[in-house]
Amino acid sequence: MRSIGFAAVALCVALSSCSSLTNAWSAVTEAKVPAKTILVAENAFNIAKSTATNYIAYCTPNPAPAGCNDVAIKTQLIPAIKSGTTARDQLQAFLRAHPDQVGDKGVYDALVAATTTIGSVTANFKGN
């Protein structure tokens, strides 16, 4: 009889955690961001991308000028530019199709993360 009781308790706990997990997943996937906030993030990314592009152009000559970090460029900067551009383009397409509506927070967060990474790498530049 005890095993049936433990099984019942375990089933209740499992079902309640599934419900909590489902609610948490819905909260994350259904989160939205206002159009004006998206536009500000897009503009910030465009500025950061321009700075990163100039940094890459400056560091491209061989040998690279002092302060350039090829590892950071290859492992952080270029991936951040690519992921940020993809996120920005997705948000722009959404806003064109749905003017003045709220956009996907996950894509917005990807854009903000890319902008932050670019800012971090370029802030660490120690040129002459």
Digitized pLDDT (tens) for each residue of the chain, 128 residues in all: 444 444 444 444 444 444 554 454 444 456 888 989 999 999 999 999 999 999 999 988 878 788 888 888 999 999 999 999 999 999 999 989 988 788 889 999 999 999 999 999 888 876 55
Query: What are the E-state strand segments in 22-115?
Result: 32-33, 103-104
User: Which of 46, 33, 42 shows the shortest CA–CA distance to 100?
Assistant: 33
Prediction pTM value:
0.70
